[in-house]
Amino acid sequence: MGKPTGFLEYERVSNTWMEPSKRMESFEEFQIPLDEKQRRQQASRCMNCGVPYCQSAIELKGMVTGCPLHNLIPEWNDAIYRGYDKIAFDRLLKVNPFPEFTGRVCPALCEKACLNGLDGQSVSIHDNEKYIIEIAYQKGWMKAQIPTVRTDRKIAIIGSGPAGLSTAYLLNQRGHSVTVYEKEDQPGGLLMYGIPNMKLNKTFVERRIVLLKQEGIKFVCNTEVGKDITRKDLEKEYDAIILCVGSKTPRDLNCKNRNCEGVYFAVDFLTKNTKHLLNDKEAYINTKNKNVVVVGGGDTGNDCVGTCMRHGAKSVIQLEMMPKAPDERLESNPWPEWPKVCKTDYGQQEVIAKFGHDPRIYSTTVKECIAKDGHLKQIKTVQVGFVDGKLTEVKGSEQILDCDVLLIAAGFVGVEKTIKEDFQLECTARNVFKADEKFQTKADKIFVAGDCHRGQSLVVWAIAEGKKAAEMTDKFLMGYSSIQS
Ligand SMILES: Cc1cc2nc3c(=O)[nH]c(=O)nc-3n(C[C@H](O)[C@H](O)[C@H](O)COP(=O)(O)OP(=O)(O)OC[C@H]3O[C@@H](n4cnc5c(N)ncnc54)[C@H](O)[C@@H]3O)c2cc1C
Ligand code: SF4
């Protein structure tokens, strides 16, 4: 169980983040890993609980707590503590096909359920996970695993985000011939175009795609299913089709003069920025010396804030419609439930460091875009609150803010039009594809996984869904499955 007294002897130490002023100089990742001795001490803090909530993914009050992949956390913490990194790697990869992604961007549902967190500081599970996979790449343990036996079954996967990649990885390992269709010019979904480079450097996405290609997965990029190739074409050619197309229709802003120049959706803005980083000939929206307002106080909004800070924006404000969450857990939200608390993420920290104030303004939304010659110059905001369960404007609370660029990060409203119209599948109230417990739609041989099934969620959930869809598709094709999701 690691070191029986580890959690008593050592405080939690997380990977250090570079100072905001330093990290804002570039779009590079800014975490500085611990040295080996410190890492092993951190792993020794794991108590190997009889019931490890960290890997449980149990549902409490409608929300899951613990790792959705059921990562074998106490096992690999113990192996790290003892210096058995190869064993830690083998155990990690047994359930998590993409720890290089979760070890960077997962909000660590595991840590919120860690028993050490009940009366102290949880184990640094997320950072330990990243340590294992990066050591594995450094030592050459992470190699392409080329399947030795092939079946004659052909599978099409639409979309190459974490759900598509995880489904493709497992079905290819099983021996099926897998082709992944992607409308963008590069595979990776939101891992590539969405999540910014400073959170997940794109070389790490590309590094893994190289291995997946060597393993035999075929990627067909720049191909939009529903437009360049249709459901009918795919049905003729493949034994099964798995839709992993995400839930990327952005929620729009319903305000006066919305269509003036200078208003953009967050993912378009972030995508262009990444494309420009990868190829400086690509055009992007530069917010240098601009007054920026981001609508939406969530993670996507924070990624926009961090990106604008790196551009050198003149000012950055983030509007959030909901009131501020408490700083500490409320009694009604005890461990091991997911803590509903206010977190100040990297982008917001950077605004505080540079401008001396938190960028967030709560209980506020945009009422009007004010433009000159068609270009956005200011916005009119208004405070909002719930009256009888209905979101209502507070009379007389309007304010004018200078704003050259308005970024809409107000969430997502389901699957995109092209694929929906081509496939004509039943959708849920959240405008995502409806499927049974086998991840199968009512249409013969069509499965779904990831955000296009559960709605906008997290990378770890997309990977978990991809694994389940792979197992179910395999069963459908072979009558049984050796894939363990
Ligand atoms: C800005 C942003 C930041 C985020 N940050 C985090 C984070 O830090 N941590 C975290 O856990 N989660 C984060 N998320 C959420 C996470 O990225 C998603 O939940 C996850 O990527 C969903 O995976 P997916 O495979 O279902 O879909 P996606 O990643 O959306 O991939 C779907 C893919 O399908 C392709 N596609 C769509 N339609 C077609 C078609 N017709 N033909 C061919 N291809 C098609 C798309 O181009 C895309 O590549 C973030 C989301 C956003 C928007
Ligand atoms: S995938 Fe996420 S929830 Fe699971 S162990 Fe890693 S950091 Fe924790």
Of all ligands present, the nearest one to the C-alpha of 296 is 1
DSSP structural state of residue 53 = G
Of all ligands present, the nearest one to the C-alpha of 72 is 2
**Residue 179 host element (H or E):** strand 177-181
DSSP, collapsed to helix, strand or coil, labels residue 50 as coil
Please give the distance, rounded to the nearest whole angstrom, from the Cα atom of residue 36 to the centre of ligand 1.
33
Q: What is the pTM of this model?
A: 0.97
Ligand 1 contacts CB of residue 306 (under 6 A): no
Of 393, 408, 423, the domain-final residue:
408
Ligand 1 contacts CB of residue 158 (under 6 A): yes
Q: How many CB atoms lie within 10 A of CB 210?
A: 10
Please give the distance, rounded to the nearest whole angstrom, from the Cα atom of residue 190 to the centre of ligand 1.
4
**Residue 384 host element (H or E):** strand 375-387
Same domain (yes/no): 133, 221: no
Query: Would you say residue 483 lies in a domain?
Result: no
Please give the distance, rounded to the nearest whole angstrom, from the Cα atom of residue 153 to the centre of ligand 2.
32
pLDDT for 1: 66
Q: Which atom of ligand 1 is nearest to the CA of 193?
A: 49
Please give the distance, rounded to the nearest whole angstrom, from the Cα atom of residue 111 to the centre of ligand 2.
8
**Residue 154 host element (H or E):** strand 154-158
Of all ligands present, the nearest one to the C-alpha of 234 is 1
pLDDT for 353: 98
Residue 225: give the domain boundaries. 154-248+413-478
Please give the distance, rounded to the nearest whole angstrom, from the Cα atom of residue 450 to the centre of ligand 1.
8
Query: Would you say residue 461 lies in a domain?
Result: yes
Same domain (yes/no): 306, 369: yes
Same domain (yes/no): 180, 104: no
Same domain (yes/no): 282, 378: yes
CATH number, domain with residue 86: 1.10.1060.10
Same domain (yes/no): 441, 387: no
Determine the Cα–Cα distance for residues 105 and 29; give it in Å rounded to an integer. Answer: 11
Shortest-distance Cα residue to atom 1 of ligand 2: 102
| C-alpha dihedral sign at 195, 199, 201, 206 | negative
Condensed to tens digits (0 to 9), the pLDDT of residues 238-249 reads 999 999 999 999
Mutate to test the pocket of ligand 1, among 231, 245, 304, 463 (most ligand atoms within 8 A of CB): 245
Of 408, 423, 443, the domain-final residue:
408
Shortest-distance Cα residue to atom 3 of ligand 2: 67
Q: For ligand 2, which residues put their CB under 6 angstroms from it? A: 67, 69, 71, 73, 96, 102, 106, 108-110, 125-126, 129, 460
Please give the distance, rounded to the nearest whole angstrom, from the Cα atom of residue 349 to the centre of ligand 1.
25
Of all ligands present, the nearest one to the C-alpha of 54 is 2
Backbone φ and ψ of 436, nearest 5°:
-85, -175
Contact 282, 316 (CB under 8 A): no
Same domain (yes/no): 400, 434: no
Same domain (yes/no): 268, 387: yes
Determine the Cα–Cα distance for residues 221 and 232; give it in Å rounded to an integer. Answer: 19
Of 83, 110, 138, the domain-final residue:
138
Q: What angle do CA 59, 60, 61 make, to 5 degrees?
A: 120
Ligand 1 contacts CB of residue 474 (under 6 A): no
Determine the Cα–Cα distance for residues 106 and 459; give it in Å rounded to an integer. Answer: 7
pLDDT for 120: 86
Give me the residues paired with residue 256 across strands: 368
Query: Would you say residue 146 lies in a domain?
Result: no
Shortest-distance Cα residue to atom 21 of ligand 1: 190
Please give the distance, rounded to the nearest whole angstrom, from the Cα atom of residue 378 to the centre of ligand 2.
42
Condensed to tens digits (0 to 9), the pLDDT of residues 128-146 reads 999 999 999 999 999 999 9
pLDDT for 173: 98
Same domain (yes/no): 283, 305: yes
Count of structural domains, the chain: 3
Determine the Cα–Cα distance for residues 191 and 212; give it in Å rounded to an integer. Answer: 15
Ligand 1 contacts CB of residue 43 (under 6 A): no
Give the helix ranges, DSSP H, for 216-256.
231-237
Query: Would you say residue 454 lies in a domain?
Result: yes
Mutate to test the pocket of ligand 2, among 42, 54, 69 (most ligand atoms within 8 A of CB): 69
CATH number, domain with residue 312: 3.50.50.60
Residues of the chain with pLDDT under 50: none
DSSP, collapsed to helix, strand or coil, labels residue 405 as strand
